[in-house]
Amino acid sequence: MRHAELLDLSIAHIDCDAFYASVEKRDNPSLMDKPVIVGHPGGRGVVTTACYVARKFGPRSAMPMFKALELCPHAVVIPPNMAKYKQVSAHIRALFEKATPLVEPLSLDEAYLDLSSGIRLVERPAAVLLARLARAIRREVGITVSVGLSYNKFLAKMASDLDKPEGFSVIGREEAAAFLAPRPVTALFGIGQATAARMARQGITTIAQLQSLPEAEFMARWGRFGRRLAGMVHGIDTRAINPDRPAKSVSTETTFARDISDAKALAEALAPLAEGVARRLERARLAGRTVVLKLKTGDFKLLTRHHRLSDPTGRAEIILRAGLALLDRQADGRAFRLIGIGITDLCPAEDADPPDLFGPRPA
């Protein structure tokens, strides 16, 4: 690999290639050349991971399983084994930590690494360490990874997606703006389909169009997010790599065997989910202030609704009460295939549930 800035860049994103499917193929070599889909079989399941052989036929992560099997009826479907995947992930994390103490995992199969001089544990250029890490993971763990190397998190993650599987891509400072210019706005961190659609109505579909706007225009159009967006379109991202990222939310959900439109049945499904959130909060010694209701319609449209509490809570009955109020406004006869509830704006448990929540307020 050659790049003018190769030895000067130090922020990396490493992403395991089709992680769950790769682990299954590693453990069963007879599957190596077959299309493998990891996910719960049955009419209500979704694809967790599709291997690269399967992807040639169209299956993708989060696709309904029935749709994936219509596209690739000869696929081998394997239920996920999360305990095994966590064990493999821990092995990979241990290899990362031999190179640097600053590892920020995003999930079981991807992480950011800061390999800056003075931080990395081996005094080799970051590019060399990353090549060695990729080789060690292939040799010791038995799966492949794709590596992105740049000067910030946003571009490192973008680089790791450029040449999968088993890729190693670099985005330097000099070419960053030009590299971003022709790409769709959805390539930017934080811009989903809804924001992209609003931008399209304003005539903006590419990053180049955003690059031509003055910074004040970003603030006027997109508020606080606009300030960060104004830098991002030019390849600026000041987020640090944080190895101890706190949880931002606690949630749980369930997918129904059949779509449900009855309001009472939906409410009954919500109660055990609220209990589950409360138990997880208790174990983590956390509480939260904003209750989030999640619903997915039969045609896979996702709805989220929020309610901010007057005080943080970790109590199931309070979470459920807020969730039911949100549900009451959505249960209008539409059929839903999924319901979930969660809580955000987390804080320590000792800061939650003041006594006056449980009894009469003093006069």
Half-sphere exposure of 315 (CA within 13 A, CB side): 16
Half-sphere exposure of 33 (CA within 13 A, CB side): 0
Per-residue pLDDT of the chain (363 residues; tens, 9 = 90+): 788 898 899 999 999 999 999 999 999 999 999 999 999 887 678 899 999 999 999 999 989 999 999 999 999 999 999 999 999 999 999 999 999 999 999 999 999 999 998 888 888 899 999 999 999 999 999 999 999 999 999 999 999 999 999 999 999 999 999 999 999 999 998 888 888 898 999 999 999 999 999 989 998 988 888 988 999 999 999 998 988 766 778 888 888 888 999 999 999 999 999 999 998 898 878 999 999 999 999 888 889 999 999 999 999 999 999 999 999 999 999 999 999 999 999 988 888 888 654 444 433
What's the CATH class of domain 176-232?
Answer: mainly alpha
Residue of 110, 166, 215, 282 marked active site: 110
For the CA atoms of 341, 344, 347, 350, the dihedral, rounded to the nearest 10 degrees, stands at -20
d(CA 152, CA 114): 9
CA 204 to chain centre: 25
* Domain 249-357, CATH homologous superfamily name and number: DNA polymerase, Y-family, little finger domain (3.30.1490.100)
Residue 122, C-beta contacts closer than 8 angstroms, at least 6 positions apart:
98, 99, 129
Domain residue ranges of the chain, discontinuous segments joined by +: 1-174, 176-232, 249-357
Q: Which pLDDT does position 357 carry in this prediction?
A: 43
pTM: 0.72
Q: Which pLDDT does position 362 carry in this prediction?
A: 39
CATH assignment of 1-174? 3.30.70.270
Does residue 110 carry a catalytic annotation?
yes
Angle at 96 between CA 235 and CA 246, to 5 degrees: 70
Angle at 179 between CA 176 and CA 183, to 5 degrees: 130
Contact 107, 49 (CB under 8 A): no
Q: Which residues are annotated as a binding site for Mg(2+)?
A: 15, 109
Domains 1-174 and 176-232 share a fold: no
DSSP for 304-316 reads: EEEEEEEEEE--H
Q: Which pLDDT does position 77 carry in this prediction?
A: 96
d(CA 5, CA 180): 17
Buried b (16+ CB within 10 A) or exposed e, 32-70: eeebbbbbeeeebbbbbbbbebbbeeebebebbbeebbe
